[in-house]
Amino acid sequence: MLRQSWFRRIARLIERITIPGILVHYALRKKCICELLRSALNNGVTQVVVLGAGFDPLSSELQREFPDTQSWEIDHPATQRHKVRACSETGVERLHFVAIDLSTMGLDRDALISSGFDPTKRTFWIAEGLLMYFPADIVSSLMKTLSSLSAAGSQFAFTFMEKQHHGRIRFDSQTRLVDWWLRTRGEPFLWGSTRSELSEFIQPWRLIRFFDDKHLRDMAADLSDQIIAKGEVICLAAI
Ligand SMILES: C[S@@+](CC[C@H](N)C(=O)[O-])C[C@H]1O[C@@H](n2cnc3c(N)ncnc32)[C@H](O)[C@@H]1O
């Protein structure tokens, strides 16, 4: 559909009335996380776990390049069943699916381990566009569970909403329409943080670095005239 000019025009219009710059933000966020993952896989990581993977094809795409890698996708059952169906039609290998509602059950260690995950191997964990939907205590307990499943040298790339000065958790350019939509759909952003709070909050993970809109802009010199939505930051942490 992206090849159809009418579709691109509608997408641009929707973007303008919701979160200007969000499409470029998504594209560059994905590019940045893909580069972090590729670098970890080149440096000996052999397990990838994507939490709240949605319809992101990252884990299956990189499998072609890294044939020794095993991947897991943990997602809400309502989302994952569509992906499982699509992947069974295309025959994706070395990709394991674990359906869990992370907001009620937390991360089920046994379910992950019984599907072949090995906590003694180095793992690259990803939580992209996910943690903002959970309250802080769930995010904190998830951080601890992931660390307990991580061998030394494991890494965790996650995104978080940067809390605004008055404590609100939203994209800078987000319109009121989106505030209303998230509220009525029951999907408001629940957790946000500041960069200074984060290094303590994520312990025992060790903060490596942040990637914000300025970094994303540097990744795409040819998009210098485009708006990039500001508010969601990528954090790379390690054990
Ligand atoms: C905004 S999408 C992000 C998808 C993907 N990570 C990406 O960046 O393209 C949010 C994802 O979080 C998942 N999710 C939301 N609440 C969840 C929950 N309680 N338990 C597990 N997954 C959840 C949704 O199913 C969806 O896949």
What does the DSSP assignment read for 85-108? Answer: HHHHHHT--SEEEEE--HHHH---
Contacts of 162 (CB under 8 A, 6+ apart): 192, 193, 194, 195, 212, 231, 232, 233
> Are the C-beta atoms of 150 and 123 separated by less than 8 Å?
yes
CA separation for the pair 202, 204 (Å, rounded): 6
Cis omega (within 30 of 0) for bond into 204: yes
pLDDT tens sequence across 175-212: 989 888 877 887 678 999 999 999 999 999 999 999 99
Pocket of ligand 1 from Cβ distances under 6 Å:
52-54, 56, 75-76, 79, 101-103, 128-130, 133
Supply the pTM of this predicted model. Answer: 0.94
State which of 31, 58, 79 you would mutate to test the pocket of ligand 1, scoring each by most atoms of that ligand within 8 A of its C-beta.
79
Locate the ligand 1 atom nearest the alpha carbon of residue 126 and give its number: 6
Mean pLDDT of 17-31: 95
Q: What is the pLDDT of residues 30-61, one digit of tens each?
A: 999 999 999 999 999 999 999 999 999 998 88
Q: Distance between CA 222 and CA 141 in Å, rounded?
A: 40
Ligand 1 atom 11: residue of nearest CA: 52
Under CATH, what is the fold of the domain 20-238?
Rossmann fold (3.40.50)
Query: In this predicted model, which residue has the larger pLDDT, 179 or 93?
Result: 179
Atom of ligand 1 nearest to the CA of 104: 19
Q: Is 167 helix (H, G, I), strand (E, B) or coil?
A: coil
Provide the residue ranges of all domains of the chain, joining segments of one domain with +: 20-238
Give the pLDDT score at 90: 72
Q: Which DSSP letter does residue 23 get?
A: H
